[in-house]
Amino acid sequence: MAGRKRKKVLNSSSDSEDDDIDTDDEYDALEKDLEISKKKLSKMDRKRKRTNKDNATLKQDNAKLKSDLDNSKRKVLLLKSMLGARGAIDYFESKRFTFCAATNFDKMARRYDSRTTIFSPEGRLYQVEYAMEAISHAGTCLGILASDGILIAAEKRNVHKLLDDSVLAEKIYRLSDNIACTVAGITADANILINHLRYWAADYKLGYGEDIPVEQLVRNLCNEKQRYTQVGGKRPFGVSLLYMGWDKHYGFQLYQSDPSGNYTGWKATCIGNNHQSAVSLLKQEYKNPTLAEAKQLAMKVLWKTLDVKLAPEKIEMAVLVRKDGKSVVEELSHAEVTALIKEREEKEKEAEPARS
């Protein structure tokens, strides 16, 4: 009976050893499985991290692509708007030349005549042209260069029986001993320019002890007039002037200047109302006259071109001559002008039968 127990114990011991052996194998197998699982988890974790990183990169790329797409859309919209505006401009530019020229230019002028310094598409300065147009409606002024002097004559329009002759605005101005001028246009503008001319003439004589050369004085004023066509915020002077003068360089001289600042020398010319017909008549009749003949010619031109009947109170005349080596500006008296008008009337009456 004791042997049976031992055997059983032995058997039990043997079973325990077998169990220990089986448990160790299972433990080793589990450890291997655990290691494999860890490796798989590590591999999956690395893959997940790479995926997250790729996702972040993809998100950044997507954001960048979206930003680029938005910028492209804005550029496309901007280009479309620009093309639309350009198309509208091209359309109206093409239509502009299909309209009637006179009506079109009148409408176009409103876009370019608000400032003196803006050129129109045709290369014109409308404000300067308007100033010259104002002069063409002013009283007639003419000048004639004679062999022994110069004559200038002007129409006085402000004639009223209630006006005080002592303060009546004159049309002929003495600038210095050797220069005088007459004006056509806005009298207030003329007064400013006359003050400039007299100042320059007096300043030159004070500095050099002699009369200023005629062309130099004219050029100084034209530079001032031209400056007013280039500076913003100013308008051109609405005045044209005829200058008569004498200097030791060129003798007797007759000049004309306009609001643009341009000046020219003449043998005979006219500014103001009906100046074209007056110049045409002067061109036919001028033959290097003496001063007496120039007076007759001036009266003839005024007789044929003025819209009113000649009268002494409507005409102002002056001559520049040389006496005793000095230049003298003489204004014709009321009696002299009256005599010239009567002489002209007689000649016109004598010519009437011949015309009929």
Task: Quote the pLDDT of residue 127.
Answer: 84
- Report which listed range, 3-12, 50-59, 82-91, 146-155, is most confident: 146-155
Distance CA 202, CA 206 (A): 6
For the chain, give the mean pLDDT: 82
Edge to edge, the sheet with strand 326-331 lists 268-271, 141-146, 149-155, 315-323, 326-331
Q: How many CB atoms lie within 10 A of CB 194?
A: 20
Residue 13 pLDDT greater than 50, yes or no:
no
Residue range 311-336: mean pLDDT, rounded: 93
Residues of the chain above pLDDT 70, percent: 79
CA atoms within 13 A on the CB side of 291: 14
> Residue 102 pLDDT more than 50?
no
Q: What pLDDT digit, counting tens, does each position of 243-258 carry?
A: 999 999 999 999 999 9
Q: Is 30 helix (H, G, I), strand (E, B) or coil?
A: helix
For 169, the 3-state DSSP assignment is coil
Give the least confident one: 30-44, 68-82, 188-202. Answer: 68-82
Which pLDDT does position 1 carry in this prediction? Answer: 42
